[in-house]
Amino acid sequence: MAVAARVLSVLAGTTVVLGVLHSAIRTVVLPRASQVRMARIVFWLMRKVFDLRLRFARSYGSRDRVMALYAPLALLALPFAWLAAVIAGSTAIFWGLGVASLRDAFTLSGTSITTLGSHPAPDLPTTFVAVIEAIVGLGLVALLISYLPSIYAAFQRRELNVSMLEVRAGDPPWTGALIRRHWTIGWLERSSDLFAEWERWFADIEETHTSQPALVFFRSPIPGRSWITAAGAVLDSAAVLLSTVEAGPMPQAQLCLRSGYLALRRIADFYGITYDAAPAPGDPISVERGEFDQLVGELRQAGVPLVEDLDQAWRDFAGWRVNYDRVLVTIAGFVMAPYAPWSSDRSLPFRAAKVRLRLPPGGSPWHDRSALVLAGPRMRAEERDLRGSTVLPGPPALPR
């Protein structure tokens, strides 16, 4: 019985160590979106800790200061979780190989992974395992060192465009401000240059924010900025220019819209956020006709040339917006984005709502959890009463 227990201990410890290596490789090395159970558990537990702290935050500024630490600390906690699991797995291996007590096995494992060498292995098999554990420990540290520069390089690329958008769209970013400023300086017809740049930006965040998902929670250096509200302002600007403003053909705006909603949907897919993948152009959206009319009045007052048929313009705008409306608003609440019109203003943290994350194929119960999303009084992250909205049939949704 004792021999069988030690054999099972070696097998269990080996499974744990191999599982850690598998998790580290998929998290750091694999260049694609991948659901990593251990990483999700670490981030989930850290979010629970931060949620407790948020209960004492009485303003957005204090919540932002708290949540600014969430992603960096969770990311730094991940290698410590890896190392702790390796120590636990190696402890089981050492005990299974004949080390007298669990305490001695733990001491040997701890000194091996930290390369202290203060507790030498008693024989050749345990020496071999000690060397392997030391290599694994150093390798995990090296992976983290190589991972952080790539994370922050992607963060800097993202934030460069977000910062530059403030010059055109203001702070918080607003579609009306962007269009009015382009009209005032005579750049309305040159808006395609902006949309070409943001098409590339959307392609970049689609890749980086799914292969390095912690980036979704990294907050901008300026508290009032956010990558998701900036994305919403650009997408809405493209939709308004295509539907409402007399600015001539703008195929680049259409490409930017498609690039944008595909990127947001891929990020939503990673986090299991549900949405209608094939919305009808007449489906309800979170922007109401009255809000759209207010924007039209703002543009008219600034002298921006508008189309004559504003009813058709509303239908056209709704037909564009329906492609990204749900994912935009839900992600804005998911990351606790700062206030911005037509995005986070309908998911601001006034009351708590829960989003049930889908269980991916082959996933684990850890995926099927409720992620706390702070929602506002006008819209819940998963359910919103849109019966008061007037949404008329619009143009076909963007082709997929």
Give the pLDDT score at 203: 96
| 226, 284: one domain | yes
Whether residue 186 sits in one domain with residue 53? no
pLDDT at position 265: 96
Cβ neighbours of residue 223 closer than 8 Å, sequence gap 6 or more: 61, 64, 65, 338
pLDDT tops 50 at residue 350: no
Q: What is the pLDDT of residue 31?
A: 77
Same domain, 116 and 38: yes
Largest Cα–Cα separation, the chain: 87
State residue 1's pLDDT score: 67
Helices 102-113 and 124-169: crossing angle, nearest 10°?
50
Residue 386 pLDDT greater than 50, yes or no: no
Of 133, 112, 343, whose CA–CA distance to 226 is shortest?
343
Would you give the end-to-end CA distance of the chain in angstroms? 61
**Has residue 368 got a pLDDT over 60?**
no
Domain count within the chain: 2
Mark whether 234 and 120 lie in a shared domain.
Answer: no
**Average pLDDT of the residues of the chain:** 83
DSSP 161-185: HHHHHHHHHTTTT-HHHHHHHHHHT
Residues 252, 341, single domain; the answer is yes
Same domain flag for 116 and 184: no
Does a structural domain hold residue 400? no
Residue-wise pLDDT tens digits, 40-84: 899 989 999 998 888 888 888 888 889 999 999 998 899 899 999
The answer as to whether 158 is a domain residue is: no
Task: Answer yes or no: is pLDDT of 351 > 50.
Answer: no
Distance CA 333, CA 237 (A): 21
Question: Is residue 164 in a domain?
Answer: no
Nearest residue to 125 (alpha-carbon basis) of 45, 14, 220? 14
Q: Same structural domain for residues 188 and 81?
A: no
Which domain does 223 fall in, by range? Answer: 170-375
Quickly tell me which residue has 């549900």 as its tokens. Answer: 274
Residues 118, 204 share a domain: no
Measuring CA to CA, how many Å separate 243 from each of 3, 115, 215, 230, 327?
Answer: 75, 65, 33, 20, 21
126 domain residue, yes or no: yes
Q: How confident is the model at residue 251 (pLDDT cuts 50, 70, 90)?
A: very high
3-state class of 108 per DSSP?
Answer: helix
Residue 392 within any structural domain of the chain:
no
Q: pTM of whole model > 0.85?
A: no
Tokens of residue 56, six digits: 């004492």
Q: Which range is least confidently modeled, 231-235, 360-364, 375-379?
A: 375-379
248 and 369 co-located in one domain: yes
CA distance 90 to 85: 8
List residues bridging with 354 in a β-sheet: 372
Same domain, 136 and 285: no
